[in-house]
Amino acid sequence: MRPTIDQIRTAAYGRWERRGRVHGFDRADWNAAEKQQILFVNYRVLTADRLDSEAPRAIGDPSRRRCRFCRQATPRAEFSSRVRIIPDYLGPGSPVAFDQCQECASHFSETVDPGLAQFVRPFLVGSSSTLPGAAGIAVDAYKGLVRLALSVMPVSDLEDHEDTVEWVSNPDHDFDLNVFRDLTCTVHVVPAAFPASWVALAKLKDDREAWPSMLFFLGTSHVVFQILVPLGQRDSDHDGVPITVPDILPPSPFGPEHEPIARVMLPIVSTEAVREPTLR
């Protein structure tokens, strides 16, 4: 669904006011407002977390431990006191999970987290003018982002992503890679580093749109990583119709001064095709 002219006009006017009513940016304000409204008209932000919180959000019930990935509960599965969902290098205020068992947490730390770290870390030391020369995003790194999305996803929506959980949990990352050859990671470049890292998950409101049912965002340093969460049951209802990712602004919690100024689309590639990225 496209936003109305009035919705875009109102959003553009608000941007002009927040910038101190400085003239000369009307076209930029209009384009940004349209992308912003495409997101808000069509998607509902389910979760949003800043990763510098002194009291991070708790996910799951500490009195009824059941793993959201393997579905095992105590006493068949063992649980630690809590699991930090987001890696430490992305921020000290990660949401904590009471619904991830020790076995699944250990499995992901060995199979997808290293690939995600290798992909993300070069972006943390550069600037908006010196992006890493990554040719693509390896399957394990993409799975790492999907695992984060599944970790913060409301339990009611996990039922729609049983196949996603199975795919992320499979350690044979390059298996059936051709099935996912159209997946991409959008890297949005922001003009100044974010004050803190953040994550957000957005859900499509209307199933009639051939757009991804779930979008996940990770903002850190001077970039935002955006992916669609694949293999959702709602997306399979569009069999035969290509799923297209809309051109939107990420739902950053830090205002228009941290909105993207450019973006790069990185295709998903095999783990063997990606080596340690180098800065250019």
Residue 274 makes CB contacts below 8 A (sequence gap 6+) with: 118, 119, 134, 135, 136, 137, 138, 141
Pairwise pLDDT comparison (279 vs 122), residue with the higher score: 122
Q: Hey, what are 167's tokens?
A: 């795919």
> What does the pLDDT look like over 236-256, one tens digit per residue?
776 667 778 889 999 999 987
Three-state helix/strand/coil letters over the chain: CCCCHHHHHHHHHHHHHHCCCCCCCHHHHHHHHHHHHHHHHHEEEEEEEECCCCCCCEECCCCCCECCCCCCECCCCCCCCCEECCCHHHCCCCCEECCCCHHHHHHHHHHCHHHHHHHHHHHHHCECCECECCCCEEHHHHHHHHHHHHHHCCHHHHHHHHHHHHHHHCCCCCCCHHHHCCCEEEEEECCCCCCCCEEEEEEECCCCCCCCCEEEEEEECCEEEEEECCCCHHHHCCCCCCCCCCCCCCCCCCCHHHCCCEEEEEEEECHHHCCCCCEC
Q: What angle do CA 141, 77, 70 make, to 5 degrees?
A: 40
Cis status, amide bond into 253, omega within 30 of 0: no
Q: Hey, what are 148's tokens?
A: 């984060």
> What does the pLDDT look like over 103-147, one tens digit per residue?
999 999 999 999 999 999 999 876 555 577 678 999 999 999 999
Does residue 278 surpass a pLDDT of 50?
A: no
**Rounded distance between C-alpha atoms, residue 48 and residue 82, angstroms:** 20
- Mean pLDDT (the chain, rounded): 89
- Amino acid present at 53: S
**Rounded distance between C-alpha atoms, residue 69 and residue 195, angstroms:** 32
Does residue 15 surpass a pLDDT of 80?
A: no
> What does the pLDDT look like over 191-249, one tens digit per residue?
999 999 999 999 999 888 889 999 999 999 999 999 999 999 988 776 667 778 889 99
User: pTM for this one?
Assistant: 0.91
* C-alpha to C-alpha distances, 223 to 3, 181, 202, 252, nearest whole angstrom: 26, 23, 18, 11
Q: What is the pLDDT of residue 67?
A: 97
Q: What is the pLDDT of residue 238?
A: 64
Query: Looking at residues 79-97, what average pLDDT do you find?
Result: 92
Does residue 277 surpass a pLDDT of 50?
A: no
